[in-house]
């Protein structure tokens, strides 16, 4: 079986890390499988939202496969080594992390790179690299997502952060029983799908632009980003559908 599964449910792609016996640890199969999955998702115009999750009940992803790393003598991995959304992988559509169980090291990276995150009650997040002498450059965006003192504690202690605490800190969008995780992620994806796709894409981009700019620059970038949205057919269809009391027929143009 493939180390990465790709399912389609209507306009939603479900990408599943599929090494449950190894806690979905990142090996060459997962790296290449994810790169292919994100390319397939981005290129298929019928797919509007993706969900990333893991097989089994214990782990979303436990991080790097240390057995493989030891066997290959892995040193500093090149930038393209792990497919990371927003870094070496370009995706313009929303991605939701559905975290079941542990999300450690590279597993947390996979959750972090997604736009939204729902977690099962037994989910935990941890930066475990200090325990094995590895680096954590991937954790840089956390400073925009968690308070500084929390980030410092996570980096220095390598202690796990539970799903409920992550929710209280605003890192996780929802915490649900394990048997409700997939359904909750699908419900969130379906809610996004019902919205105008051009507005969704631009709004997603606005969030990331704003983390890298000051207020005035972000406002200017936002106006530029949404100008083609205002000029689109969908921008006329939305008010027209409201006036006619019907669901809009989005065309994405």
- Does residue 252 fall inside a structural domain? no
- 109-134 residue pLDDT tens: 999 999 999 999 999 999 998 888 88
Q: pTM of this prediction?
A: 0.91
Kindly list the distances between the CA atom of residue 149 and the CA atoms of 11, 93, 102, 155, 169, in Å, as whole numbers in the listed order: 40, 32, 22, 10, 12
Helices then strands, each counted (H, E), the chain: 10, 10
| CA-based nearest residue to 15, from 192, 219, 185 | 185
Query: What's the average model confidence in pLDDT over 234-248?
Result: 89
- 78-104 residue pLDDT tens: 677 789 999 999 999 999 999 999 999
Do 60 and 122 lie in one domain? The reply is: yes
- Does residue 13 fall inside a structural domain? yes
Do 155 and 67 lie in one domain? The reply is: yes
Q: State the pLDDT at residue 49.
A: 97
- 152-184 residue pLDDT tens: 999 999 999 999 999 999 999 999 999 999 999
Token code pair at residue 11: 């306009």
Count of the separate structural domains present in the chain: 2
Do 112 and 149 lie in one domain? The reply is: yes
- Residues with Cβ within 8 Å of 229's Cβ and at least 6 positions away in sequence, in order, are 196, 198, 199, 202, 235
- Does residue 250 fall inside a structural domain? no
- Does residue 253 fall inside a structural domain? no
Q: What is the CATH number of the domain that holds 132?
A: 3.90.226.10
Do 124 and 226 lie in one domain? The reply is: no
Structural domain for 228, as ranges: 197-243
Q: Give the integer Cα–Cα distance in Å for 5 and 16.
A: 5
- Does residue 248 fall inside a structural domain? no
């Amino acid at each position: 079986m493939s180390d990465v599964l790709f399912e389609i449910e209507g306009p939603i792609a479900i990408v599943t890390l599929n090494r449950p016996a190894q806690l979905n640890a990142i090996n060459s199969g997962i790296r290449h499988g994810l790169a292919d999955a994100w390319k397939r998702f981005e290129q298929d115009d019928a797919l509007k939202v993706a969900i990333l999750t893991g097989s089994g009940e214990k782990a979303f992803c436990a991080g790097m496969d240390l057995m493989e790393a030891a066997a290959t003598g892995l040193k500093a991995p090149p930038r393209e080594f792990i497919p990371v959304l927003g870094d070496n992988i370009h995706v313009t559509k929303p991605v939701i992390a559905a975290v079941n169980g542990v999300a450690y090291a590279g597993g947390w990276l996979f959750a972090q790179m997604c736009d939204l995150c729902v977690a099962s009650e037994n989910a935990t997040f941890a930066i475990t690299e200090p325990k094995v002498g590895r680096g954590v450059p991937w954790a840089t965006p956390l400073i925009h997502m968690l308070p500084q003192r929390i980030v410092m504690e996570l980096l220095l202690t390598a202690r796990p952060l539970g799903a409920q605490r992550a929710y209280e800190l605003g890192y996780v969008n929802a915490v649900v029983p394990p048997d409700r995780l997939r359904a909750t992620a699908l419900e969130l994806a379906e809610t996004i799908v019902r919205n105008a796709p051009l507005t969704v894409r631009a709004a997603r981009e606005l969030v990331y632009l704003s983390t890298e700019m000051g207020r005035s620059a972000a406002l200017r970038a936002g106006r530029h980003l949404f100008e083609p949205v205002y000029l689109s057919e969908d921008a006329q269809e939305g008010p027209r559908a409201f006036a006619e009391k019907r669901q809009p027929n989005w065309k994405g143009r």
